[in-house]
Amino acid sequence: MVKYIINGAKPLQGTVCISGAKNAAVGILPATLLVKGTCRIENVPDISDVRLLLQILDEMGAVIRRLSPNTIEIDCSHVRDSVAPIELVRRIRASYYLIGAQLGRFGHAKVALPGGCNFGARPIDQHIKGFEAIGAMVELTGGYVVATAPADGLQGARVNLDVVSVGATMNIMIGAVLAHGTTIIENAAKEPHIVDLANFLNAMGAKISGAGTDLIRVRGVRALHGGSYAIIPDQIEAGTYMAAVAAVGGDVLVQNVIPKHMDCISAKLREMGVKITEYDEAIRVTRTARLRRANVKTMPYPGFPTDMQPQIAVCMSLARGTSIVTESIYDTRFRYCAELNRMGAAIQVDTKVAVIDGVEQLHGCDVKAFDLRAGAAMVIAGLAAQGTTVIEDVHFIERGYENMIEKLTAIGADIRRVEIPETAAVRTAG
Ligand code: EPU
């Protein structure tokens, strides 16, 4: 069992460097299945979700070389049409991109229904709608998604998504890259990682235009070739460190970001009284006075991201006055509020709305990370709180944050990671 132990209430000071975007990497890595040749990918975050996907690709026959901690070469030329190991696939949401990738490469995919963070129903009907539109026959059988292309191959088509879905937009793009003719995705998601996936595929010879708008055109090509690509910085990791400085106080330069991607987060923090200074590839965050209250509603990009909702809620817990958070993407993404309340926050949740009465101080205690971003929020709360916070289930955090302990320690946090052998943990629990 791994825990984080934080001694809080120490202002943050210095520079933090942001890693490559998780949600771009987890789309790009499966998409390498479409490429016959070597893809050299830079700025790959070294996080457990990425390690899992690499393990899945390795088991499928990909040749993978790690050139440095964040640069990887992948050659999928000799990958076999096989079923990815269910015990790995079930551990990561993004394994759904294997459906588009295998369907595109082999005309056939059999992938276990994906796992991932649990915050309510996370259907994949829009992915399936897209695959069916381009001619695949899709069945859900025995916990697997089985997709089969017609004998004469997938055929480009128009797909209008019923809900704006990051996963469906990326998966349909992946599935359509090698199809005959043109696929048009309407009501597409516009997140930065969608543009990043399109740029990666185009660097390997695909013909995708419009990524970043709600209408994406994928003109099918016969084959993709190898090449080099660098993944964009992680918008949510950057936002998490910005929220940490806002909640804890201090002055930190957040480096290796695309400030434009941060607009909605920067604007909300400014509204709350945080000083934000933008540079070409960095943002300086300074917070000296107490935060002001604000309201926020999560929305698809360019709106305020649901993946920043728990972190901003910690800031609001410490702000003067009452703030309201409305979650419009997921059904149950407020489970962490009970943990924050145990630390002294005053949050009332009514299904998709949280009413947060700001308190002057949080107090350290033992809490759990319920999912990746809820875990990040617990870290921020622990950094801001008086006393010691112990966070359990931090494997969720390590799915998506590279070197969080080292990065926080470098800016003055007192945080350490402790591994407790299972037997000792069981004895303690007993
Ligand atoms: N939805 C459907 N049908 C579908 C797909 C989605 O109804 O076929 C609904 C979902 O239930 C949800 C909404 O549409 O209400 C948006 O879901 P989306 O498909 O955009 O989410 P996702 O692809 O499952 C990705 C990220 C999440 C992030 C969301 C929203 C990955 C692997 N995951 O999930 O990231 O919260 O987009 O931006 O890219 C995280 O990083 O912590 C994380 C959870």
The 10s digit of each residue's pLDDT in 91-147 is 888 999 999 999 999 999 999 987 655 555 678 999 999 999 999 999 988 889 999
Query: Residue 86's pLDDT band (boundaries 50, 70, 90)?
Result: confident
Atom of ligand 1 nearest to the CA of 94: 32
The predicted structure's pLDDT at residue 90: 87
The predicted structure's pLDDT at residue 142: 87
* Cα-to-centroid distance, 217 and ligand 1 (Å): 21
The predicted structure's pLDDT at residue 114: 75
Q: Does the beta carbon of 194 sit less than 6 angstroms from any atom of ligand 1?
A: no
Reading the block at residue 222, the tokens are 């016969």
Report which of residues 161 and 118 the model is more confident about.
161
The predicted structure's pLDDT at residue 255: 98
Q: How far is CA 331 from CA 92, 119, 274, 354, 379, in A?
A: 19, 7, 30, 12, 23
239-259 average pLDDT score: 98
Query: Residue 428's pLDDT band (boundaries 50, 70, 90)?
Result: very low
CA distance 282 to 269: 16
DSSP, res 317: H
Nearest to 98 by CA among 115, 84, 87, 78: 84
213-239 average pLDDT score: 98
CB 128 within 8 A of CB 115: no
Q: How many percent of the chain have pLDDT more than 70?
A: 97
The predicted structure's pLDDT at residue 84: 86
Instruction: Specify whether 17 is catalytic.
Output: no
pLDDT at 430 over 70: no
Atom of ligand 1 nearest to the CA of 300: 38
CA distance 74 to 166: 24
Residue nearest to atom 4 of ligand 1 (CA): 124
Torsion of CA 274, 285, 247, 393, to 10 degrees: 150
DSSP string, 252-316: EEEES--GGGGHHHHHHHHHTT-EEEE-SSEEEEEE-SPPBP-EEEB-STTSB-GGGHHHHHHHH
* Cα-to-centroid distance, 166 and ligand 1 (Å): 6
Atom of ligand 1 nearest to the CA of 331: 15
Q: Does the beta carbon of 235 sit less than 6 angstroms from any atom of ligand 1?
A: no
From the list 76, 117, 264, 337, the catalytic residue is 117
Nearest to 388 by CA among 94, 10, 2: 10
CA–chain centroid gap for 155, Å, is 31
Q: Each residue of 261-289: pLDDT tens digit?
A: 999 999 999 999 999 999 999 999 999 99
Q: How many percent of the chain have pLDDT more than 90?
A: 90
The amino acid at 4: Y
Q: Does the beta carbon of 166 sit less than 6 angstroms from any atom of ligand 1?
A: yes
Enumerate helices (H) and strands (E) in the chain, giving the number of each: 15, 23
318-333 average pLDDT score: 95
Q: How far is CA 158 from CA 176, 187, 209, in A?
A: 11, 11, 14
